């Protein structure tokens, strides 16, 4: 349940080069004129030839004059927004790295756009034109391209002989990868059988079993089996996590869950999402029929499941209304939970769960409830359905469907193809076009991420990158803290406490140390059984393994150095209860970071990522947690009021941004927008501090931009991406991050230093008169 905040044309030719080529061409052509001794060449010409030569000479003179005028005018325009800090005789950096970097930056840009009008298009439209969305994908960007490079590294190792792998954990990863590839067609031969066997264990399913008897069916037993054996979050989700108000201890936590479609709006706004609901019903029906259901009956019963999910959506609280951590936190006993949500015997449920780890549960066991109102309303809804036989059948169909949909992707191609229609409507792409090995590498990384991490770190991660990244983080942190003194809305006590918290944020870089220790790595996956010919069963085992690993924490002290993300992941995150930010090895690569890059590019890329995660500790949710990761009222009331007033400006700013006629939800994206703005500012000032009293580095060849400007171009180009209309709409509905274009435009338009560097006049789109500033 814990809130982990995570971060995803042709090259213009230089005019001077063109003019040199033109001049050389004319000079060489002149040497073809033949001379005859003692006679004037001009006198040998006819009157017509003389006239034509005069005309050609005149036209050439006019072209040269016009070229000089145009070049001078373009130079003056460019001078108006480019700060030249190089002397006239300074040479650009011409080593291989600089030429390569400059080429990539230029390729991504579109100089037909003014940087003060639309900096995203100026920086990225060349990339967008040159990088259409690949078949089968709904989004494509720098994050995804880097992920694909990482996949090649992992594939190379996983396809080596198993004896070449260093640990048992890595060998299990290879076996899982092979089960996903299914080279022997085991999955195809088994067809629906693995799922039919599972349905029997679940007690039957009315859709595929005409003898199913609702009168003999137990709601309690089915919920326990779905949640505690197969780890499916149907109706609600629970886990063991750090107690928000005492983060040194683990505690049971429970929250709302249970919708198949991405957000509640897909159910409740039927007029706008009719196609999605139709595709969802078609998908459900296809799967039910593949498992032996009669088409008409299956469709009718699946429609009843959608109606039930719609009623679940109606009592589910929207994400934008769940941003106040203190309001969400409700500590109670299991007995209290039973009184509030009577649809389940909660003590029996948690006793069943904890039996996996050999722990007893009493009615006095404490639990944090993040959705108290939802669970109360859910109780009424369940009791209503339990009052009729048809209602009980629908409840069973819903619970079993939640399990079927999770594992149907592990069945034969017919089951995987059944999802394509729904995916097309939701994402704008059916998927399935990329090679199977890519899907399987990603899948293996999802389920055995630290075993894959050991491979990735060994193959490509340079240890000195860890040290250099640490220096960069400290520089960004110092710049972030220095800014506190300029914030007049903060009182002095809160300011001092904020500095202490910023210093206390731990940073984890590259990978957790245990992935390089074979013994520790093997111990982590010791209880996981994997076979190369059992993809479906492997996934059942993995779900139970993950549940057990989570529940085991209830008996352990909190370890604030644990990771929640695999080392090869191209991402980063901040956890408020750990007061910890993590930067996996996967993202510490070009274009985010490269030891050969000038500092402007590294700080514009990776430095902003670091600043983003750091700022999450002080966004509208992170600021509620103190230096120890505890939910605590550690700010003065007047400062809280001033902070909230400033966040209103950010909400209103992003509410006005539209894509394809659909507005961004400024409230839903508030935390990420605060982090984008604060991270950019901190990273830029960290760069300025780094370069203080240092000479300007050589400029990059073919790029008429100084390094302050390159910092902002590097920041923007991290977000170059293409997205289908459907995936964009889904992102706006569900994602806590703004679309890429507005992550760039929103943050830059609030930063006065950007407008100073690019000389954007007040009132231009990138330099609005009224700006929003939190940090």
pLDDT at 49 > cutoff 70: no
Residues in the chain, how many? 775
- CA angle (140, 141, 147) in 5-degree steps: 95
- What is the SS3 assignment for 252? strand
Residue 575's alpha-carbon distances to 241, 448, 489, 742, in angstroms, are 12, 21, 26, 24
Of these residues, 309, 351, 620, 676, which one is catalytic?
A: 676
Q: Give the tens place of pLDDT for each residue, 171-212.
A: 999 999 999 999 889 999 999 999 999 999 999 999 998 778
Paired tokens of 647 = 């966040």
CB atoms within 10 A of CB 10: 10
Convert the pLDDT of each residue in 755-765 to its tens digit: 999 999 999 99
Cα torsion 535, 539, 540, 542: sign = positive
- pLDDT, tens digit, 9 for 90 and up, residues 279-316: 999 999 999 999 999 999 999 999 999 999 999 999 99
Closest CA to 443 of 404, 424, 416: 416
Q: How confident is the model at residue 3 (pLDDT cuts 50, 70, 90)?
A: low
As a whole number, mean pLDDT of residues 488-500 equals 95
**Do strands 506-510 and 580-584 pair parallel, antiparallel, or not at all (unpaired)?**
parallel
Cα 176 to the center of its chain, rounded Å: 25
pLDDT tens profile 739-757? 999 999 999 999 999 999 9
Phi, psi of 251 (to 5 degrees): -150, 155
pLDDT tens figures, 398-415: 999 999 999 999 999 999
Q: What percent of the chain has pLDDT over 70?
A: 89
Segment among 51-65, 104-118, 435-449 with least mean pLDDT: 51-65
The string of DSSP letters for 496-560 reads HHHHHHHHH-EEEEE--GGGG-HHHHHHHTTT----TT-HHHHHHHHHHHHHHHHHHGGGS---T
| CB-based contact 309:258 (threshold 8 Å) | yes
Q: Is 282 a catalytic residue?
A: no
> Number of C-alpha atoms within 13 angstroms, CB side, residue 187?
24
- Residue 613 catalytic? yes
Closest by Cα among 220, 193, 187, 229 to 208: 193
Asked if 212 contacts 392 with a C-beta cutoff of 8 angstroms, the reply is no
Q: Which of 764, 721, 763 is nearest to 743 (CA)?
A: 721
Question: Is the pTM of the predicted complex or chain greater than 0.95?
Answer: no
**pLDDT at position 532, please?**
94
- 188 contacts 412 by C-beta, under 8 angstroms: yes
pLDDT band at 13 (very low <50, low <70, confident <90, very high): very low
The pLDDT tens digits of the residues spanning 575-585 come to 999 999 999 99
Angstrom CA distances, 527 to 232, 339, 548, 757, stand at: 20, 37, 10, 57
Whole-angstrom distance, CA of residue 507 vs CA of residue 629: 14
Q: What is the mean pLDDT of residues 463-479?
A: 90
pLDDT band at 63 (very low <50, low <70, confident <90, very high): very low
Paired sense of beta strands 658-659 and 246-256, if any? unpaired
472: nearest Cα among 300, 308, 593, 336: 593
**DSSP H helical ranges for 362-485:** 372-385, 389-407, 413-418, 420-427, 436-447, 449-460, 463-484
Give the 3-state secondary structure percentages of the chain, helix then strand then coil, rounded to 5: 60, 5, 35
Quote the DSSP letter at residue 724: -
Give 332's strand partners: 367
What is the residue whose two structure tokens read 């171009």? Answer: 713
Is the pLDDT score of 9 beyond 50? no
- Picking from 448, 502, 759, the residue whose alpha carbon sits closest to that of residue 615 is 502
Catalytic residue among 613, 726, 733, 735: 613
The candidate with the shortest Cα–Cα distance to 392, out of 491, 479, 322, 301, is 301
Which pLDDT score, from 0 to 100, does residue 1 have? 59
Confidence of residue 8 (pLDDT cuts 50, 70, 90): low
CA atoms of 52 and 58, how far apart (whole Å): 10
């Amino acid at each position: 349940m814990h809130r982990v905040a995570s971060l995803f044309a042709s090259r213009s030719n230089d005019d001077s080069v063109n003019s040199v080529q033109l001049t050389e061409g004319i000079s060489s052509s002149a040497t073809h004129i033949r001379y005859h001794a003692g006679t004037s060449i001009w006198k040998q010409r006819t009157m017509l030839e003389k006239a034509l030569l005069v005309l050609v000479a005149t036209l050439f003179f006019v072209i040269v004059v016009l070229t000089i005028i145009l070049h001078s005018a373009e130079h003056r325009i460019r001078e108006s927004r480019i700060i030249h800090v190089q002397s006239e005789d300074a040479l650009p950096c011409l080593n291989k790295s600089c030429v390569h970097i400059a080429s990539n930056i230029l390729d991504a840009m579109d100089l037909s756009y003014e940087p003060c009008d639309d900096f995203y298009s100026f920086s990225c439209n060349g990339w967008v034109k040159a990088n259409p969305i690949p078949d089968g994908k709904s989004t494509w960007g720098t994050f995804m391209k880097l992920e694909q490079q990482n996949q090649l590294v992992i594939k190379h190792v996983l396809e080596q002989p198993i004896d070449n792998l260093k640990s048992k954990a890595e060998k299990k990863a290879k076996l899982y990868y092979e089960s996903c590839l299914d080279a022997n067609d085991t999955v195809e031969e088994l067809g629906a059988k693995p799922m039919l066997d599972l349905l029997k264990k679940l007690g039957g399913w009315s859709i595929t079993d005409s003898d199913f008897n609702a009168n003999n069916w137990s709601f309690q037993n089915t919920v326990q089996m779905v949640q505690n054996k197969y780890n499916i979050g149907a109706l609600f989700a629970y886990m063991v996590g750090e107690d928000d108000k005492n983060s040194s201890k683990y505690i049971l936590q429970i929250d709302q869950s249970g919708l198949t479609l991405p957000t509640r709006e897909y159910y409740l706004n039927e007029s706008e999402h009719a196609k999605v609901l139709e595709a969802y019903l078609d998908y459900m029906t296809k799967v039910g029929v593949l498992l032996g259901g009669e088409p008409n009956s299956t469709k009718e019963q699946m429609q009843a499941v959608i109606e039930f999910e719609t009623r679940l959506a109606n009592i589910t609280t929207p994400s934008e209304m769940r941003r106040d951590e203190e309001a969400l936190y409700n500590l109670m006993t299991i007995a209290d939970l039973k009184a509030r949500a009577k649809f389940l015997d909660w003590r029996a449920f948690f006793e069943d769960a904890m039996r996996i780890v050999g722990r007893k549960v009493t009615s006095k066991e404490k639990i944090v409830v993040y959705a108290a109102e939802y669970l109360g309303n859910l109780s009424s809804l369940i009791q209503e359905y339990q009052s009729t036989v048809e209602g009980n059948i629908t409840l069973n169909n819903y619970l079993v469907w939640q399990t079927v949909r999770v594992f149907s992707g592990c069945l034969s191609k017919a089951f995987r193809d059944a999802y394509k229609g729904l995916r097309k409507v939701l994402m704008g792409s059916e998927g399935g076009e990329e090679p199977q090995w890519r899907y399987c590498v990603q899948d293996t990384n999802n389920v055995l991420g630290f075993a894959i991490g050991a491979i990735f770190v060994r193959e490509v991660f340079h240890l000195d990158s860890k040290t250099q990244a640490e220096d960069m983080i400290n520089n960004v942190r110092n710049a972030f803290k220095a800014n506190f003194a300029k914030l007049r809305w903060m009182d002095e006590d809160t300011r001092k406490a904020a500095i202490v918290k910023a210093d206390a944020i731990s940073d984890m870089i590259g990978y957790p140390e245990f992935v390089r220790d074979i013994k520790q790595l093997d111990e982590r996956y010791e209880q996981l059984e994997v076979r190369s010919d059992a993809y479906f069963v492997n996934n059942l085992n993995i779900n139970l393994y993950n549940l057990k690993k989570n529940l085991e924490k209830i008996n352990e002290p909190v370890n604030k150095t644990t990771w929640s993300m695999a080392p090869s992941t191209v991402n980063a995150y901040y956890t408020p209860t750990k007061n910890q930010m993590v930067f996996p090895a996967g993202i510490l690569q070009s274009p985010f970071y490269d030891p050969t890059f000038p500092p402007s590019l590294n700080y514009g890329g990776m430095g902003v990522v670091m600043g983003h995660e750091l700022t999450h500790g002080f966004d509208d949710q992170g600021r509620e947690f103190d230096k120890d990761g505890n939910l605590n009222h550690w700010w003065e009331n007047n400062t809280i009021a001033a902070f909230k007033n400033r966040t209103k400006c950010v909400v209103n700013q992003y509410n006005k941004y539209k894509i394809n006629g659909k507005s961004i939800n400024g409230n839903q994206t508030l935390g990420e927008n605060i982090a984008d703005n604060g991270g950019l500012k901190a990273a830029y000032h960290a760069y300025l501090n780094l370069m203080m009293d240092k000479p300007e580095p050589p400029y990059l060849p073919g790029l008429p931009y100084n390094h302050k400007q390159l910092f902002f171009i590097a920041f923007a180009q991290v977000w170059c991406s293409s997205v289908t209309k459907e995936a964009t709409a889904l992102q706006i509905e569900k994602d806590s991050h703004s679309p890429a274009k507005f992550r760039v435009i929103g943050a830059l338009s609030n930063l006065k230093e950007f407008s100073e560097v690019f000389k954007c006049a007040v009132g231009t789109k990138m330099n609005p008169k009224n700006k929003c500033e939190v940090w």
